[in-house]
């Protein structure tokens, strides 16, 4: 059967080469779009790891000209207690500028047992960060107030980094070094992954370090968790209070919910545009395939009539035509998969291999469905050919 | 002769309506996408409101310090100190306008929050650009020197802050607990014009952070405006000479702060680096993407065209038998194809008008007014012809090689 089909196809190789290249290019387009979609979908399914509702970020600029650590620490200690005293505010946390959904990131790296760990998200936070974000500990504990005073090298890592470094082994109590394996830090806890880049990006490996008093010189964000009755009136009075507490500073307040929406929109909008364009291209291709198959079958009326005359059933004629197109599509898909499989093999965009493999399967499936849909109607038409009429025309 | 070909083409197109529909769908859709994106990019790149003199301008918006040995890189916008101490010494530029980037603050009106992006500027800023003042006027040198709390606001800010008030000049707008007197209202600039977008413009001397820092980095950008386009090379070389004299900071051996035209600035941002503007790279990548995008509909069209032409093998056979040369036939089919693509092109232009209208109205980027101008239309026409040729040549060549006897025998 297949040898026979192959012979038929080979005889018309010139006509088929265009059909083949069309399917090949469509496959590559579908593959790239579906890789993107699969990647985002897999990330989207993972939990956010914290609660962003009712969390506000207050930006301020530091107007104090002093670089004296104690003065700064005292000053911002007062700001903290002013804020905590408000009944609408549940938690106050000073943090570096790379808090969740902010347009800022900071990375670091270190060596552990001879293995280099690079591009690890590096967060500088204080003792209330986990409570402000309602994040959960997987293991060990979060920082407490004494950790900041004691200048000890304590760090908290996130679940992804723990998984990368220790697998299923416990991480708490392990010592890790910084860039040149000096200044060992002790892991005190493992926190659940916090997806800081929006719903469609993975949390990635991350480590948290306690802010010390010297940091107040350059940090400029306070995260606050507010109660349910904190409304715009409160926000307005909070803004005035902040302007009074930190004179000569530019104050800005944003809600994490809004930041999250704009982060997500940054991801979704290009995807929607690309998918719409790809969708139209595919409609275009489908119509083209349909037209070509339809025409080809009309050209082969004589051949089909003859087959019917010597006893082939209508359904077997139809299925022959569909199988022929599927066989052609398979040839293209083999070539296309060869290109597609290079992405995980050469690790082109640093995405997990699973993404490409799922995308590959989806696009193969998609192409087959497309080809079947486009050849079903011409196939049925061929099946309806009456042998006597077809042979008479001949 | 041409008239004949035209008649034949129309007759053929009407005979096989389904194939004609597929071809037109593919061509018009592809052109719509290409023309809409060209129109949007053209709007961002070419001179438009409020900087109509963009071709006479060089922008310095970014400074990078590099330690090439250790690989440290520190990059940011410019400081006011750098602009006043160094850039303002330049003699060639006619005007030197500077402005800050990306400061936003919340303002509260009737317990509603409005987020406003404010820009500190100098007085030359208003001379270098041609903002349309709906009310009032810009602040003057005098007002800047006195550090008066005055503000020019955009039309949208007026609407969100003052509601339906007819005149707002003389009223006060509160930002970070400071009251500014509104002295002018301008027509809004879309956010895509990063250098000139703002919700509220303020004299740079009222900034709370007094900008006394002696470092080179801050959050300002500079636009150097020449008297004409011819001044650009002289401006650039004078600027570079000045930059080479700026003392390097400790720990850093390289200092980059390019004075780029609008186009170079964009390509450097996207594809270039400090050593090259990446203009060639941008052109190469963009044309690659456009070609790839056009490939699929083209293959489709070739497929359809071949089908169409082979269907007419008897006609070709007869014409050949009566002595028509292959060349004539190829011409005929090319012309037919170009007529088809031009028809698709006209549809594409209509669809592009609709798409751009929808985009402008969608509020996706407020104040953005993309339009199909002459450039965009001629690019579209050019693409159309390329498209027609690309999809017409191969089928026509295949047809011209058709054997007369074989072609006639089929029927």
Q: Is the pLDDT of residue B261 over 80?
A: yes
Instruction: Give dist(CA A154, CA A184) in Å, integer.
Output: 9
Backbone φ and ψ for B81, nearest 5 degrees, come out as -60, -50
> Would an 8 Å CB–CB cutoff place A217 in contact with chain B?
no
> Would an 8 Å CB–CB cutoff place A261 in contact with chain B?
no
Radius of gyration, alpha carbons of chain A: 31
Q: Domain ends where: A227, A249, A271?
A: A249
Q: Is the pLDDT of residue B366 over 80?
A: no
Instruction: Give dist(CA B236, CA B228) in Å, integer.
Output: 13
Report percent pLDDT > 90 for chain A.
28
Q: Are residues A70 and A218 in the same domain?
A: yes
CA-based nearest residue in chain B for residue A253: B106
Instruction: Give dist(CA B387, CA B300) in Å, integer.
Output: 12
Residue A257 lies in a domain: no
Q: Are residues A374 and A286 in the same domain?
A: yes
Instruction: Give dist(CA B227, CA B135) in Å, integer.
Output: 28
Q: Is the pLDDT of residue B222 over 90?
A: yes
Q: Do A295 and B307 touch (CB under 8 A)?
A: yes
The confidence band for B238, taking pLDDT boundaries of 50, 70 and 90, is very high
Say how many CA atoms lie within 13 Å of B323 toward its Cβ: 0
Q: Are residues A182 and A145 in the same domain?
A: yes
* pLDDT on residue A289: 85
Q: Are residues A361 and A317 in the same domain?
A: yes
Q: What is the pLDDT of residues A198-254, one digit of tens each?
A: 899 998 899 998 888 778 877 889 999 999 988 888 888 898 898 888 887 778 888
Report helix angle A13-45 to B279-311, nearest 10.
130
Residue A52 lies in a domain: no
Q: Are residues A96 and A185 in the same domain?
A: yes
Q: Is there a contact between A281 and B33 (Cβ–Cβ < 8 Å)?
A: no
Q: Which of B411, B306, B376 is nearest to B40 (CA)?
A: B376
* pLDDT on residue B211: 62
* pLDDT on residue A186: 86
Cα A323 vs. chain centroid, distance in angstroms?
37
Residue A136 lies in a domain: yes
In chain B, residues with a C-beta closer than 8 Å to the C-beta of A287 are 21-22, 25-26
> Would an 8 Å CB–CB cutoff place A66 in contact with chain B?
no
> Would an 8 Å CB–CB cutoff place B371 in contact with chain A?
no
Q: Which of A198, A230, A384 is nearest to A304 (CA)?
A: A384
Q: Are residues A101 and A35 in the same domain?
A: no
Q: Which of B29, B103, B177 sits opposite A284 (nearest CB)?
A: B29
* pLDDT on residue A357: 92
Q: Which of B227, B222, B284, B208 is nearest to B89 (CA)?
A: B222
CA-based nearest residue in chain A for residue B307: A292
Instruction: Give dist(CA B149, CA B143) in Å, integer.
Output: 9
* pLDDT on residue A347: 76
Q: Which of B22, B208, B293 sits opposite A287 (nearest CB)?
A: B22
Per the DSSP assignment, residues forming a β-bridge with A56 are: A224, A255
Q: Domain ends where: A199, A227, A249?
A: A249
Q: Are residues A112 and A245 in the same domain?
A: yes
Q: Do A280 and B300 touch (CB under 8 A)?
A: no
Q: Which of B18, B112, B303 sits opposite A19 (nearest CB)?
A: B303
How do A107-112 and A115-125 pair as beta strands?
antiparallel
Residue A51 lies in a domain: no
Q: Is A348 exposed, middle or buried (0-12, 13-18, 19+ CB in 10 A)?
A: exposed
* pLDDT on residue A192: 93
Q: What is the pLDDT of residues B307-348, one digit of tens each?
A: 777 777 778 888 888 888 888 888 888 888 888 888 888 898
Q: Is the pLDDT of residue B411 over 60?
A: no
Cα B87 vs. chain centroid, distance in angstroms?
28
> Would an 8 Å CB–CB cutoff place B168 in contact with chain A?
no
Q: What is the pLDDT of residues A89-146, one digit of tens each?
A: 999 999 988 899 987 778 887 778 878 887 888 898 988 999 999 999 988 899 988 7
Q: What is the 3-state secondary structure (H, E, C) of B327-373?
A: HHHHHHHHHHHHHHHHHHHHHHHHHHHHHHHHHHHCCCCCCCCCCCC
What is the number of CB-based contacts under 8 A between chain A and chain B?
A: 95
Residue A91 lies in a domain: yes
Q: Is the pLDDT of residue B258 over 60?
A: yes
Query: Looking at the whole model, is its pTM more than 0.80?
Result: no
Instruction: Note down the domain range covering A206.
Output: 62-249
Q: Is the pLDDT of residue B212 over 70?
A: no
The confidence band for B281, taking pLDDT boundaries of 50, 70 and 90, is confident
- Complex prediction ipTM: 0.70
In chain B, residues with a C-beta closer than 8 Å to the C-beta of A21 are 299
Average predicted confidence (pLDDT) for chain B: 84
> Would an 8 Å CB–CB cutoff place A26 in contact with chain B?
yes
Residue A258 lies in a domain: no
* pLDDT on residue A365: 96
Q: Which of B160, B150, B162, B158 is nearest to B185 (CA)?
A: B158
Q: Do A284 and B108 touch (CB under 8 A)?
A: no
Q: In Å, how far is B162's CA from the nearest CA of chain A?
A: 17
Instruction: Give dist(CA A129, CA B314) in Å, integer.
Output: 81
Q: Assign B110 to helix, strand or coil.
A: coil
Q: Do A287 and B104 touch (CB under 8 A)?
A: no
Backbone φ and ψ for B73, nearest 5 degrees, come out as -135, 135
Choosing among A231, A284, A302, which should be mutated to test the B contact, i.e. which has the most B CBs within 10 A?
A284
Q: In Å, how far is B292's CA from the nearest CA of chain A?
A: 9
Helices (H), chain A: 2-11, 13-45, 69-84, 129-132, 145-149, 159-166, 232-245, 256-299, 301-309, 314-340, 342-346, 353-383, 387-393
Instruction: Give dist(CA B215, CA A83) in Å, integer.
Output: 33
Q: Do B113 and A280 touch (CB under 8 A)?
A: no
Q: Do B209 and A29 touch (CB under 8 A)?
A: no
Domain boundaries, chain B: 1-47+281-409, 62-259
10 Å Cβ neighbour count for A360?
A: 22
Q: Is the pLDDT of residue B391 over 90?
A: no
Q: Is the pLDDT of residue B8 over 90?
A: no
Q: Which of A231, A284, A296 sits opposite B25 (nearest CB)?
A: A284
How do A206-210 and A115-125 pair as beta strands?
parallel
Q: Is there a contact between B91 and B234 (Cβ–Cβ < 8 Å)?
A: no
Residue A57 lies in a domain: no
10 Å Cβ neighbour count for B209?
A: 16
Q: What is the mean pLDDT of each run of 10 residues along chain A (394 residues)?
A: 74 77 88 92 92 90 74 88 92 90 81 81 90 90 80 85 89 74 80 91 90 80 91 85 83 87 87 88 86 80 82 83 88 92 81 90 94 87 78 68
* DSSP letters spanning A12-36: THHHHHHHHHHHHHHHHHHHHHHHH
Query: How far is the CA of B87 from the CAs of B92, B144, B268, in angstroms?
Result: 11, 19, 21
Q: Which of A6-20, A145-159, B209-223, B227-241 has the highest mean pLDDT?
A: B227-241
Report percent pLDDT > 70 for chain B.
97
Q: What is the pLDDT of residues B57-80, one digit of tens each?
A: 999 988 888 877 766 777 788 888
Q: Which of B300, B348, B280, B339 is nearest to B34 (CA)?
A: B348
Instruction: Give dist(CA B47, CA B400) in Å, integer.
Output: 49
Q: Do A280 and B29 touch (CB under 8 A)?
A: yes
Instruction: List all residues of chain A from 45 to 64 with a beta carbon under 8 Å from chain B.
Output: 61, 63
Q: Are residues A69 and A171 in the same domain?
A: yes
Instruction: List all residues of chain A from 167 to 196 with a beta carbon under 8 Å from chain B.
Output: none
Cis bond before residue A77 (omega within 30° of 0): no
> For the ranges A119-123, A237-241, B133-137, B398-402, which has the lowest average pLDDT?
B398-402
Mean pLDDT of B239-249: 87
Q: In Å, how far is A70's CA from the nearest CA of chain B?
A: 22
* pLDDT on residue A178: 56
């Amino acid at each position: 059967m297949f040898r026979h089909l192959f012979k038929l196809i080979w005889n018309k190789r010139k006509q088929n080469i265009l059909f083949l290249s069309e399917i090949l290019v469509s496959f590559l387009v579908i593959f790239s779009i579906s890789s993107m979609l699969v990647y985002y979908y897999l990330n989207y399914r993972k939990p956010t790891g914290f609660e962003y509702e009712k969390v506000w970020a207050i930006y301020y600029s530091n107007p104090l000209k002093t670089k004296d650590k104690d003065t700064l620490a005292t000053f911002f200690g007062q700001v903290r207690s002013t804020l905590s005293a408000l009944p609408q505010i549940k938690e106050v946390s000073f943090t570096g500028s790379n808090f969740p959904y902010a347009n800022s990131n900071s990375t670091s790296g270190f060596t552990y047992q001879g293995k280099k760990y690079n591009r690890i998200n590096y967060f500088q936070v204080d003792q209330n960060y986990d409570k402000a974000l309602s994040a959960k500990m997987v293991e060990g504990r979060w920082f407490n107030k004494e950790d900041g005073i004691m200048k000890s090298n304590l760090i908290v890592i996130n679940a992804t980094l723990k998984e990368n470094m220790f697998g299923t082994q416990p991480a708490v109590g392990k010592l890790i070094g910084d860039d040149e394996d000096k200044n060992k830090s002790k892991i005190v806890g493992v926190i659940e992954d916090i997806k800081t880049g929006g719903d469609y990006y993975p949390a990635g490996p991350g480590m948290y370090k306690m802010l010390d008093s010297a940091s107040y010189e350059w940090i400029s964000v306070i995260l606050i968790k507010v109660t349910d009755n904190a409304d715009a009136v409160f926000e307005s009075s909070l803004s005035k209070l902040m302007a009074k507490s930190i004179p000569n500073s530019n104050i800005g307040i944003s809600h994490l919910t809004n930041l999250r929406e704009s982060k997500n929109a940054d991801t979704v909008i290009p995807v929607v545009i690309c998918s719409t364009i790809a969708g139209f291209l595919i409609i275009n291709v489908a119509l083209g395939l349909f037209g070509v198959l339809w025409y080809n079958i009309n050209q082969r009326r004589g051949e089909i009539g003859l087959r019917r005359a010597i006893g082939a059933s209508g359904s077997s004629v139809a299925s022959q035509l569909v199988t022929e197109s599927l066989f052609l599509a398979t040839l293209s898909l083999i070539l296309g998969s060869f290109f597609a499989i290079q992405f995980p093999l050469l690790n082109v965009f640093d995405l997990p291999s699973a993404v490409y493999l799922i995308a590959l399967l989806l696009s193969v499936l998609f192409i087959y469905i497309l080809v079947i849909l486009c050849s079903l109607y011409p196939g049925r038409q061929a099946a309806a050919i009456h042998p006597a009429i077809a042979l008479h025309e001949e | 002769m041409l008239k004949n070909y035209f008649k034949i083409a129309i007759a053929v197109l009407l005979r096989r309506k389904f194939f004609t529909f597929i071809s037109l769908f593919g061509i018009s859709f592809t052109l719509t996408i290409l023309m809409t994106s060209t129109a949007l990019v053209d709007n961002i790149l070419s001179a438009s409101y409020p900087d109509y003199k963009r071709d006479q301008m060089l922008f310095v918006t970014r400074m990078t310090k590099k330690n090439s040995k250790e690989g440290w890189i520190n990059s940011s916008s410019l400081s006011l100190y750098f602009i006043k101490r160094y850039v303002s010494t330049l003699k060639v530029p006619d005007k030197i306008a500077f402005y800050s980037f990306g400061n936003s603050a919340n303002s509260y009106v009737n317990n509603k929050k409005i987020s406003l992006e404010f820009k500190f500027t100098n007085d030359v800023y208003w001379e270098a650009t041609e903002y349309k003042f709906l009310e009032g006027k810009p602040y003057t040198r005098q007002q800047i020197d006195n550090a008066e709390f005055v503000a020019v606001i955009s039309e949208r800010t007026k609407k969100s802050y003052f509601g339906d008030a007819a005149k707002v000049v003389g009223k006060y707008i509160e930002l970070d607990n400071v009251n500014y007197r509104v002295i002018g209202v301008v027509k809004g600039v879309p956010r895509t014009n990063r250098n000139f977008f703002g919700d509220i413009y303020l004299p740079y001397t009222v900034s709370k952070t007094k900008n006394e820092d002696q470092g080179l980095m801050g959050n300002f950008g500079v636009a150097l405006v020449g008297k004409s386009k011819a001044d650009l090379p002289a401006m650039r070389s004078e600027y570079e000479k000045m930059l080479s004299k700026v003392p390097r900071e400790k720990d850093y051996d390289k200092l980059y702060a390019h004075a780029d035209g609008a186009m170079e600035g964009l390509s450097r941002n996207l594809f270039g680096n400090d050593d090259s503007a990446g203009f060639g790279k941008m052109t190469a990548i963009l044309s690659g993407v456009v070609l790839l995008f056009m490939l699929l509909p083209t293959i489709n069209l070739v497929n359809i065209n071949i089908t169409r032409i082979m269907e007419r093998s008897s006609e070709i056979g007869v014409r050949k038998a009566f002595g028509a040369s292959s060349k004539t036939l190829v011409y005929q089919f090319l012309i037919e194809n170009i007529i088809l693509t031009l028809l698709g092109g006209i549809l594409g232009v209509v669809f592009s008008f609709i798409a751009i209208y929808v985009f402008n109205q969608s509020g996706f980027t407020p104040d953005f007014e993309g339009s199909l101008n002459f450039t965009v239309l001629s690019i579209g026409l050019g693409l159309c012809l390329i498209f027609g040729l690309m999809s017409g040549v191969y089928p026509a060549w295949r047809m011209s090689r058709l054997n007369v006897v074989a072609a006639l025998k089929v029927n």
